[in-house]
Chain A
Amino acid sequence: MSTETGRESQRSGALVDLMRWMENLSDTQYAYLLLTPVFLLLGMVALYPLLRTFELSLYALSVDLSSTSFVGLENYVELFTGEKNRYLPGGTTFLPASLEFTSMLNSALVVTLIIAVVSVAFETIIGLGQALILDQDFYGRRWVRAAIIIPWAVPIVIQGMIFFLMFNNNVGFATPPLADLGLLAPTNTLNDTASATFIIIVSDIWKTSAFMALLILAGLQSIDRGLYDVAKVSGATKWQQFKLITFPLILPTIGVAVLFRSVQVMRIYGIIPTVSSCTVVPSLSCMVVATFNTREGVSAAIAFVTAAIIGIVVMGLIVWQGEDAI
């Protein structure tokens, strides 16, 4: 009994010592102490893998597939010159082999860039429209807002399932009308690169416009309402108010949002295997997943190039926005 209370006081004694030790730390030491868990987690699950990915991209399997050897930047050179393209699945390449439409669509880099540019362009226009609606005060606004946000919260696999069920050639009702307009291939639609890319872009726009809308809405709501009162007094029409006040003031927000979304779309993956397949629509992340069991070095090189492209865009964003970006 007495030993137990003794141990108890010893334990709380250690706790008191720890507390006293923490009280005596300088602000900087205390800050770094509290950040230790972040460093541990990000070091283990982000920094270490990133460095290892770069390291693995410098190695390649030997001819007899039994061991790996250091090859320097050979994987990158082969990726960019097209020599190692035969290892990518389904006749896809990293860079386009020629400037023809079909070979452009077989290139992982080009397909990813096409998806990013087209999706983000439409998301910006639709998101701006949705943000302007949500900025108004009207009856039932809560429900309209929920309805507009819901697609953003839909799990990617269900998003993919929805568009698979809408466009496949057995039950999908949406293919025939669009095929009549010449936008989609009438048969085997989801196995046709151009059609599948179109459908993936549409599904991405459906899901993430709301995200763009919320970012733009933040910009809209930071505008000083007094400006509109002044404009009204001086007789400006609604269109003039939008053109001369709203649009210039939210343009920086839109710029940052566009870069942010572009970076996100560059890593598009899940929707592609659910709606179609990675051999039909070869996005960068798709190629990494499709090759990492068989050609680890090439796969790591693609992964690192993707990370580098995104890193450069983010750096540009930070240089452009300065301290505001963080």
Chain B
Amino acid sequence: MATKTEDSDGGPLERWTQSAIQNPERVYRALFYAAMLFFLVTTMFPFYWLLVLAVTPEGNLLAGSFLPAVDLFGVSGTFPLPVPKGFNPGAFITVFEQVPFHLYMLNSFALAITTTIIVLFIASLAGYVFGRLRFPGRAALMLGILAISYFPPAAFVIPLFKVFAGNAPVVIPFTDIGLFTAPRLLNTPGSMVLPFSSLFMPLSVFILTTFYGQIPDGLEDAARVEGTTRLGALFRVIMPLSAPGVATAAVLTFIAVYNEYFFSSIMATSPEATKWSPILGGILSYQTQYTTQYNLMAAASIVGVLPVVILVIVAQERIVSGLTSGALKE
């Protein structure tokens, strides 16, 4: 039986090999599609697994393997792809009933949008300065901003946590001179938006510097001759012309904040939606119940990932151009 199939396969394979030797383009084409398929399967498979878990009814989760046994020509083995054990999409509703997951997502959105607005305003001014003005100290200052984006959040977190806790005065480093006591910011947007803004601003500064630098000087000069003020020229001429750059910076900042883990986990000390805990707190709250609800964890992950999936599909050109031009200034 086995030899017979080998024989009948040998014919076309041999013919294909022969034509491939004559025409190597075909081999490259085949390799190309094989590689593409490999990358698609490996990047998409984890999402398929979430879906399998999410639709499996809770009672069936621990009953047997997700890889069903199959009988292949008398040889028993396991089917290589996990399949759901039963079908019950109810988990997608339960995630919102058990914890207010939509409120966690709303918190994440609010934090991301606030950070994006602050970053865009500050980075627009900085991008204009670095992209269009020549002044002493330019290179050193850009270097400083770059360095900040490289530093680990851990290097900032201890003093920030002490300040945001609001029970000790902010002191000048290396002295005991107290300046003021900050209000208690833990569990409020302030304790997250401030560190997010400074960590994610450098990337936007670099993107906007590139975009602003490309606008011809003549346009700005013309506006100035027409009697616009310096700031007027920036906000009425330069910024509208760099709308694609501004949009790119906005999308990347939004995604970065939505992604963030470090400060979100430390500054939101109690994982409650009413205390500004973002999706991080929401997703992890299914684990801290008396029983670990794997199907709810999977369903919540799918719901939580949807906004960025949509954003990537819609704004992929912006993301690609932003990361390729801004992440490494070349």
B61→A303 contact, CB < 8 A: no
B308→A154 contact, CB < 8 A: yes
A326→B294 contact, CB < 8 A: no
- B73 touches A (CB below 8 Å): no
Complex contacts, B201 vs chain A, CB 8 Å? 38, 41-42
- A147 touches B (CB below 8 Å): yes
A274→B24 contact, CB < 8 A: no
B312→A158 contact, CB < 8 A: no
A300→B135 contact, CB < 8 A: no
B residues 51-78 near A (Cβ < 8 Å) are 53, 61-62, 65-67
- A314 touches B (CB below 8 Å): yes
Q: Which of A50-58, A76-84, A95-103 contacts B (4 or more CB under 8 A)?
A: A50-58
- B205 touches A (CB below 8 Å): yes
B151→A46 contact, CB < 8 A: yes
A303→B43 contact, CB < 8 A: no
Q: How far is the CA of A130 from the CA of B35 in the complex (A)?
A: 8
Complex contacts, B284 vs chain A, CB 8 Å? 157, 274
Could you tell me the distance in whole angstroms from the C-beta of A187 to the nearest C-beta in chain B? Answer: 15
- A64 touches B (CB below 8 Å): no
A310→B43 contact, CB < 8 A: no
B36→A41 contact, CB < 8 A: no
A158→B198 contact, CB < 8 A: no
Complex contacts, B67 vs chain A, CB 8 Å? 173
B230→A161 contact, CB < 8 A: no
A49→B125 contact, CB < 8 A: no
Could you tell me the distance in whole angstroms from the C-beta of A260 to the nearest C-beta in chain B? Answer: 6
Please encode chain B, from 311 to 330, with 1 for each CB lying within 8 Å of some chain A CB and 0 for all others.
11100100110011101111
A147→B158 contact, CB < 8 A: no
Complex contacts, B313 vs chain A, CB 8 Å? 146
A162→B49 contact, CB < 8 A: yes
- B141 touches A (CB below 8 Å): yes
Could you tell me the distance in whole angstroms from the C-beta of A57 to the nearest C-beta in chain B? Answer: 9
B173→A55 contact, CB < 8 A: yes
Could you tell me the distance in whole angstroms from the C-beta of A140 to the nearest C-beta in chain B? Answer: 9
A53→B156 contact, CB < 8 A: yes
* Cβ-closest chain A residue relative to B230: A22
B297→A237 contact, CB < 8 A: no
Given the interface contacts A269-B262, A326-B143, does A260 sit within 8 Å of B328 by beta carbon?
yes
Please encode chain A, from 77 to 120, with 1 for each CB lying within 8 Å of some chain B CB and 0 for all others.
00000000000000000000000000000000000000000000
- B121 touches A (CB below 8 Å): yes
Could you tell me the distance in whole angstroms from the C-beta of A171 to the nearest C-beta in chain B? Answer: 5
Q: How far is the CA of A257 from the CA of B229 in the complex (A)?
A: 41
Given the interface contacts A23-B230, A35-B126, does A214 sit within 8 Å of B323 by beta carbon?
yes
Complex contacts, A19 vs chain B, CB 8 Å? 229, 231
- B309 touches A (CB below 8 Å): yes
Could you tell me the distance in whole angstroms from the C-beta of A304 to the nearest C-beta in chain B? Answer: 7
Interface residues on B, range: 35 or more
- B128 touches A (CB below 8 Å): yes
State the majority secondary structure of interface residues on B: helix
- A184 touches B (CB below 8 Å): no
- A45 touches B (CB below 8 Å): yes
Could you tell me the distance in whole angstroms from the C-beta of B29 to the nearest C-beta in chain A? Answer: 10
B261→A157 contact, CB < 8 A: yes
- B153 touches A (CB below 8 Å): yes
A residues 251-294 near B (Cβ < 8 Å) are 253, 256-257, 260, 263, 266-267, 269-271, 273-274, 284-285, 288-289, 292
* Cβ-closest chain B residue relative to A143: B313
Q: How far is the CA of A138 from the CA of B36 in the complex (A)?
A: 11
Q: Which of A6-14, A190-198, A317-325 contacts B (4 or more CB under 8 A)?
A: A317-325
Please encode chain B, from 163 to 178, with 1 for each CB lying within 8 Å of some chain A CB and 0 for all others.
0000000000110000
A304→B230 contact, CB < 8 A: no
Could you tell me the distance in whole angstroms from the C-beta of A141 to the nearest C-beta in chain B? Answer: 10
A165→B49 contact, CB < 8 A: yes
The answer, among B32, B53, B320, for a CB contact under 8 Å with A171, is B53
Q: How far is the CA of A32 from the CA of B298 in the complex (A)?
A: 49
B279→A30 contact, CB < 8 A: no
The answer, among A263, A271, A296, for a CB contact under 8 Å with B158, is A296
B121→A171 contact, CB < 8 A: no
Q: How far is the CA of A27 from the CA of B128 in the complex (A)?
A: 12
A289→B266 contact, CB < 8 A: yes
- B157 touches A (CB below 8 Å): yes
Q: How far is the CA of A152 from the CA of B199 in the complex (A)?
A: 18
Given the interface contacts A46-B156, A133-B32, A256-B330, does A173 sit within 8 Å of B147 by beta carbon?
no
Complex contacts, A146 vs chain B, CB 8 Å? 312-313, 316
- B117 touches A (CB below 8 Å): no
- A225 touches B (CB below 8 Å): no
- A150 touches B (CB below 8 Å): yes
A residues 123-177 near B (Cβ < 8 Å) are 126, 129-130, 132-133, 136, 138, 142, 144-151, 153-158, 161-166, 170-171, 173, 176
> Can you pick out 23 interface pairs between chain A and chain B where the beta carbons lie within 8 Å of each other?
A32-B135, A45-B160, A46-B199, A50-B155, A53-B158, A129-B35, A142-B316, A147-B43, A156-B261, A161-B283, A161-B298, A161-B301, A162-B50, A165-B50, A170-B294, A206-B42, A218-B330, A237-B24, A299-B158, A304-B155, A314-B150, A326-B142, A326-B143
Known: A274-B261, A324-B330. 19 other contacts (CB 8 A): A22-B231, A34-B125, A42-B144, A51-B173, A149-B316, A151-B43, A153-B311, A157-B261, A162-B46, A170-B62, A211-B327, A217-B320, A270-B265, A284-B154, A288-B154, A292-B161, A302-B154, A307-B151, A324-B329
